[in-house]
Amino acid sequence: MNATGQDATGQGTQRLVWAVVGSDIGPLLLAATEDGLVNVVFHAAGDVRDKALERLGSRLGTEPVEAPGSPLLAEPIRQLRAYFAGERRDFELPLDWSLIAGFNRQVLRELATGVPYGTVVGYGDLASRVGQPGAAQAVGIAMGANPLPVVVPCHRVVESDGGIGGFGGGLETKRQLLALEGVLPQPLF
């Protein structure tokens, strides 16, 4: 890519930058394009990080570049740190939704805008909110496909019977996020 953002053929190329940042729930890989934050990956060390970057590059058709000082990552890093410090309840970030489409995108957008900090919603309730009552299982699949966990708060989706439900980052991570938001009691140790 040259200084004008074009490759050798003169075609525009998508910038894809990433960094791994520490958090209360372990290392998070954050990736962004010029359109916004595109991916958050839990437990982003070693093989997990490498596989996530390979998958991301393949899906977006460009090589991810490690750039922790990139302006594209500065605000996501700042807001995530404030969230874990208990100083931020809502994320105000441009999001790149290109890794998800259709029903899954519809459900995740509703989740991002309609389920505030400190609250939870049932899988079935979220399905009803997007006009698909009875699609609770499909909502669960959408949560598992969420490319932007924490920022798009899939940890706030729980079972209607009071169970915590599943979570791609692991149930302990989900419990920690819900405790941070005051939904669950903080663990004693």
For the stretch 149-167, pLDDT in tens is 999 999 999 998 888 888 9
Q: How confident is the model at residue 184 (pLDDT cuts 50, 70, 90)?
A: confident
Residue with tokens 């995530």: 80
- Is 12 a residue whose pLDDT tops 60? no
Beta-bridged to residue 37, according to DSSP, are 32, 95
- Is 9 a residue whose pLDDT tops 60? no
Pairing of strands 36-41, 28-33: antiparallel
Q: How confident is the model at residue 188 (pLDDT cuts 50, 70, 90)?
A: low
Instruction: Centre a 10 Å sphere on the Cβ of residue 186 and count the other Cβ atoms it contains.
Output: 10
pLDDT of residue 21: 97
pLDDT of residue 143: 95
What is the value of pTM for the model shown? 0.89
CB within 8 Å of 10: residues ≥ 6 apart: none
- Is 5 a residue whose pLDDT tops 50? no
Mean pLDDT of 170-178: 93
Angle between helices 136-144 and 102-114 (to 10 degrees): 90
For the stretch 38-85, pLDDT in tens is 999 999 999 999 999 999 999 999 999 999 999 999 999 999 999 999
pLDDT of residue 186: 65
Q: Confirm whether 154 is a catalytic residue.
A: yes
Better pLDDT: 98 or 1: 98
Mean pLDDT of 166-181: 92
Query: Structure tokens of 5?
Result: 């953002």
Pairing of strands 121-122, 28-33: unpaired
pLDDT of residue 106: 96
For the stretch 71-125, pLDDT in tens is 999 999 999 999 999 999 999 999 999 999 999 999 999 999 999 999 999 999 9
Of 127, 154, 178, 180, catalytic: 154
